Amino acid sequence: MEIPVIRNILEANSNLAGDLRMLFIRHGILALNLISSPGAGKTSLLERTLKDLQAEFRMAVIEGDLQTDNDARRVAATGAKAVQINTEGGCHLDAAMIRAALAHFDLSELDVLFIENVGNLVCPVEFDCGEDDKIALLSVTEGDDKPEKYPLLFNLASALVLNKVDLLPYVDFNLSQATHFATRLNRGLAVFEVSCRTGQGLHTWYDWLRARRATKKTT
């Protein structure tokens, strides 16, 4: 017997992500999904942001890692609440993992939720976690052709954080080539050139966060 079906294979995840999105709207939470390759500086960006903006926002982090809770401990050291998800080898977070992690938070006491995805530029892009925005991170110690090699992330992200710009004099990274490519793939992409080590440029990222958060505030 032949059965025509036509069903989105990821429909369960998409439906759940839709529920989470409604939940975030109801609580006025800005949810951001941070995606990059390993070592680009997702945790460093969070450490800085959580410290520098702690007087302005109530923030929390869901940490996705293959193994260990090292990143969650780094984040928790800033005083922010962090929940660790160990994917045990899984290459991405999905909406069900986010829902499970949310049980550890009081959503009425939260303004911004960061989801630090597993370091990977491919798989996390395919799984909607209910976030408002995907944030792509790229560091100048990587290839400047990453946007060309992994166009989908840069096409779908709302913002690109270019980290480690303090190292530019020592590496062959062509900043204008990387940003040129990414912004042509995605005209609405906001680009921030920062160094999480020195703090350079981070105010531009913070301004974007403030503006984005203002659009989600419940009255």
Partner 1 sequence: MHEISIVTSLLSLVEEELAKRQLQKLLVVRVRHGALANIVPDAMSFAFEALTLGGPFEGARLELEEEPVVLRCSCGASFNPEQKRELLFAPCPACGATWGHTVETGRELYLQHIEAE
Question: Torsions phi, psi of 169, nearest 5?
Answer: -65, -20
Residue 145 to residue 69: CA distance in whole angstroms: 31
DSSP 165: G
Residue 104 or 184 with smaller CB distance to partner 1? 184
Distance of alpha carbon 121 from alpha carbon 215, whole angstroms: 28
Q: For helices 95-102 and 11-27, give the axis angle rounded to 10 degrees.
A: 40
Nearer of residues 43 and 186 to partner 1, judged by Cβ: 186
Please report the sign of the dihedral spanned by the C-alpha atoms of residue 76, residue 81, residue 86, residue 92. negative
CB atoms within 10 A of CB 73: 12
Q: Which is nearer to partner 1, 47 or 65 (CB)?
A: 65
Q: Given the rule CB under 8 A, which of 24-32, 48-56, 179-187, 193-201 is the region that contacts partner 1?
A: 179-187
Determine, following the binding rule CB under 8 A, whether residue 3 of this chain makes contact with partner 1: yes
Q: Shortest Cβ distance from residue 175 to partner 1 (Å)?
A: 19
Looking at residue 93, what DSSP letter applies? -
Least separation in angstroms between residue 162's CB and partner 1 is: 20
Q: How many CB atoms lie within 10 A of CB 70?
A: 12
Would you say 19 or 126 has its CB closer to partner 1? 126
The distance of closest approach from Cβ of residue 129 to partner 1 in the complex, given in angstroms and rounded to an integer, is: 13
* Residues 11 to 30 in contact with partner 1, rule: CB under 8 A: 11-13
Q: Which residues between 91 and 150 bind partner 1 (CB under 8 A)?
A: 91-92, 94, 120, 122-123, 125-127
Using CB under 8 A, which of the segments 7-15, 37-45, 133-141, 165-173 binds partner 1?
A: 7-15
